Amino acid sequence: MNIRCIAIDDEPLAVKKIAGYIQKVPFLELVAECRNAAEAMTIMDSTDVQLLFIDINMPDISGMEFVKSLTNKPYVVFTTAYSEYAVEGFQVDAVDYLLKPITFTNFLKAANKVKNLIELTANNQKESVRTSANHLFVKSDYKLIRIELADIKYIESQHEYIKIHLVNSAPVMTQVSLKSIEEQLPPNRFMRVHRSYIVHLAKVSVIERNRIVFDGKVYIPVSEQYKEKFQEYIDGNFV
């Protein structure tokens, strides 16, 4: 398991230190080093990020305000030189709060907390979705619903939930991560094309300006992270 991380701090030495710590931990993967929230948002718009190590005191928008603004929040570990922010940090569901100067020992403890939470969540979510060769069962509104794989158009991430969009019926919501259901779907039929979307390849019929169009009105972007793999599918299946 690799946990994809961003280090965010306006101080060059501080962000380099966190980035260095990330690279020393086998189960962490450094996606980017960012000097402000705007840089981080640009990365997160196109890349699946699971964990932020983010400073609180930054110009323009603080780390706290940035985290509060996110719709699909990754796991968060705040880093700061000021202990008075600790309570507020935990109020926005931060996993941990590291006080500068940050030792590698304390950093590793925080990283392990995140790892344990991800593993626990993944185990719980597997109970919410059961797949077979041609259908899946999902828990939704206290009911167990059978969904034929052939009826799925695309799957959309919505914070802690996913919305499964279907051909001839209303979407179905269930509390599971996009990554968890991605791991259970047949990869020859379904493909992740964005941090927030999985598409049913057989239902892809219109592609416009690097976007997949469903029903003439839903535009799903293909992000840089998944563009090459999706292009390989297009090259192999479209004339």
pLDDT of residue 3: 92
Give the pTM: 0.66
Q: What is the mean pLDDT of residues 72-76?
A: 87
> Are residues 162 and 177 in contact, defined by beta-carbon separation less than 8 angstroms?
yes
Express each pLDDT in 92-148 by its tens digit.
788 998 999 999 999 999 999 999 988 877 666 555 566 667 888 888 877 888 899
Residue with tokens 């969009």: 165
Taking the domain 3-125, which CATH number applies?
A: 3.40.50.2300
> What percentage of the chain has pLDDT greater than the value 70?
91
Domain 129-237 homologous superfamily, CATH? LytTr DNA-binding domain (2.40.50.1020)
Opening angle at CA 165, ends 161 and 169, nearest 5: 120
pLDDT at 200 > cutoff 90: yes
Least confident of 7-11, 156-160, 224-228: 156-160
First to last CA, the chain: 37
pLDDT of residue 113: 94
DSSP H helices, 82-209, are 86-91, 104-126, 178-184
pLDDT of residue 145: 87
> Are residues 6 and 34 in contact, defined by beta-carbon separation less than 8 angstroms?
yes
Express each pLDDT in 173-194 by its tens digit.
888 888 888 888 999 999 999 9
- Give the DSSP letter string of 56-75: S--SSS-HHHHHHH-SS--E
pLDDT band at 76 (very low <50, low <70, confident <90, very high): very high
- Mean of the per-residue pLDDT values of the chain: 87
Q: What is the mean pLDDT of residues 151-163?
A: 88
Domain coordinates of the chain in residue numbers? Answer: 3-125, 129-237
pLDDT of residue 87: 52
pLDDT of residue 167: 92
Q: Which residues pair with 161 in a beta bridge?
A: 158
Express each pLDDT in 36-62 by its tens digit.
999 999 898 878 899 999 998 888 888
